[in-house]
Chain A
Amino acid sequence: ILNVEQSPQSLHVQEGDSTNFTCSFPSSNFYALHWYRWETAKSPEALFVMTLNGDEKKKGRISATLNTKEGYSYLYIKGSQPEDSATYLCAFKDYGGSQGNLIFGKGTKLSVKP
């Protein structure tokens, strides 16, 4: 089974801080990288799907970058707000493996204090 690592496991920041976390994945046979936001007692919601090396995507104060050659993606949150508190998941799809097999990391749990 392919390994997808997320760091840190958890993060506590103050409102207004900018923060970032990492998703590491195998650098060979890359196909796609997903980011999801998962609030407590809700379902995961998609943030980004990234497929090209060098991709940068942005949604409001959240952005993500992708480096497929070295096998990592960063998620950035600018000016964190309490409503950004959630677990952020990344998921990796390799090329050539089972068509629909998506491997999730264990997530980074972000807590934003007012």
Chain B
Amino acid sequence: EAQVTQNPRYLITVTGKKLTVTCSQNMNHEYMSWYRQDPGLGLRQIYYSMNVEVTDKGDVPEGYKVSRKEKRNFPLILESPSPNQTSLYFCASSLSALTGVTYEQYFGPGTRLTVT
């Protein structure tokens, strides 16, 4: 089954404790992206990757890191989480045109993160 998986689905952690949220897709998509969703603010893009070893900042990259060493995986790293990073996080993937995102995105199930 074609899918995007994220782990963990739920996480409660404390300020400053490094964490990684994994994202994996089995559709051989070049493009992957991370979003956070906060009430009243909609989906905001954190980082994206056009292909292996190619990553770029979205609109809200502060406090996050990503890597794209393999095509299928795109982990999101919070080196020192803070309470303002409490949010619902979505990973997404799609095929990509060389010039930008013109194909439908497939979203993972979401990760609800709480930082106390």
Binding site for B on A (CB under 8 A): 1, 31-32, 34, 36, 43-46, 48-49, 51, 89, 91, 93, 95, 98-107
CA distance A45 to B84 in the complex (A): 27
Question: Which of B's residues lie within 8 Å of A, judged by CB?
Answer: 31, 33, 35, 40-45, 48-50, 56-59, 90, 92, 96, 99-110
| Interface SS, B side | strand
Contact (Cβ within 8 A) A98 B56 = yes
CB-based nearest A residue for B104: A46
The answer to whether A100 and B90 touch across the interface, beta carbons within 8 angstroms, is no
The answer for the CA separation of A36 and B104 in the assembled complex, in Å, is 9
Contacting residue for B101 out of A45, A93, A106, A107, CB 8 A: A93
Could you say which residues of chain B place their CB within 8 Å of the CB of A36? Answer: 105
**Known pairs A98-B56, A100-B33. 18 more at Cβ < 8 A?**
A34-B101, A43-B109, A44-B43, A46-B105, A48-B104, A89-B43, A91-B43, A93-B100, A98-B57, A99-B99, A100-B56, A100-B101, A101-B45, A102-B33, A102-B105, A104-B35, A106-B41, A107-B42
How many residue pairs bridge A and B at CB < 8 Å? 77
* CB-contact partner of A100 in B41, B44, B49, B107, under 8 A: B49
Q: With A100-B96, A104-B43, A106-B40 known to touch, is A34 a contact of B105 (CB < 8 Å)?
A: yes
B100: A residues at CB distance < 8 A: 31-32, 93, 95, 99-100
A29 → chain B closest CB, angstroms: 11
Q: A32-B101, A106-B41 are in contact. Are A1 and B107 (CB under 8 A)?
A: no
- Given the interface contacts A45-B107, A100-B33, A100-B49, does A106 sit within 8 Å of B42 by beta carbon? yes
- Which residues on A sit within 8 Å (CB–CB) of B44? 104
In angstroms, Cα B107 to Cα A105, docked, is 16
Minimum Cβ distance to chain B for residue A87 (Å): 9
| B107:A43 contact, CB within 8 angstroms | yes
Residues of B within 8 A of A44 (CB): 43, 90, 92, 105, 107
